[in-house]
Structure 1
Amino acid sequence: MSGADEIAGLDFASVTPEEFARIVKGLSAKEINEIARDAELRGRVLKEVFGRMERQFKPEVAGQLEALIRWKVTGQGDNPEAVYETHISKGTCTVTEGRSDAEPRVTLIMGDADFLKLVSGNSSPVTMFMMRKVKIAGDVALASGLTRYFDIPKA
Structure 2
Amino acid sequence: MTVNDTNPALLEPLEFARLVKRTPAGELRRLMHGDQRTAVLDELFARMPNVFRADRAGSLDAVIHWRIGDRPDGGVDTYQLVIANGRCELSPRPEAEPALTLSLGAVEFLQLITGNAHPVLLVMRGKLKTTGDLGVTAKFPTLFDIPRP
Q: With structure 2 as the length reference, what TM-score do the two structures score?
A: 0.91
User: Which segments of 5 or more consecutive residues in structure 2 lack a partner in the other structure?
Assistant: none
CA distance in 2, matches of 1:97, 1:84: 8
Would the aligned equivalents of 2:7 and 2:40 in 1 still touch at CA under 8 Å?
A: no
2:146 to 139, 143, 152: 152
Matched residue, 1:18: 14
How many residues align? The count is 149
The aligned residue for residue 73 of structure 2 is 78
Paired AA for residue 105 in structure 1: A
Q: In the aligned structure 2, how far is the partner of 1:48 from the partner of 1:84?
A: 12
Poorly superposed stretches of 4+, deviation over 4 Å: none
Question: Which blocks of at least 5 consecutive residues in structure 1 are unaligned?
Answer: none
After superposition, the C-alpha distances for 1:84-129 in whole angstroms (9 at most, x for unaligned) are 01110010000124420x2100101110011111111111111111
Query: For 1:1-150, what aligned pairs fall within 5 Å after superposition?
Result: 6-38=2-34, 40-78=35-73, 80-100=75-95, 102-150=96-144
Separation (CA, whole Å) in 2 of partners of 1:131 and 1:78 = 25
- Taking structure 1 as reference, are residues 14 and 36 closer, same or farther at Cα in structure 2, changes over 3 Å only? closer
Question: Identical aligned pairs, as a percentage?
Answer: 35
CA distance in structure 2 between the partners assigned to 1:93 and 1:139 by the alignment: 18
8 Å contact kept, 1:125–1:144: no
What amino acid sits opposite 2:46 in the alignment?
Answer: G
CA RMSD in angstroms, aligned pairs only: 1.6
Higher alpha-carbon deviation: 45-54 or 26-35: 26-35
Taking structure 1 as the reference length, what is the TM-score of the superposition? 0.88
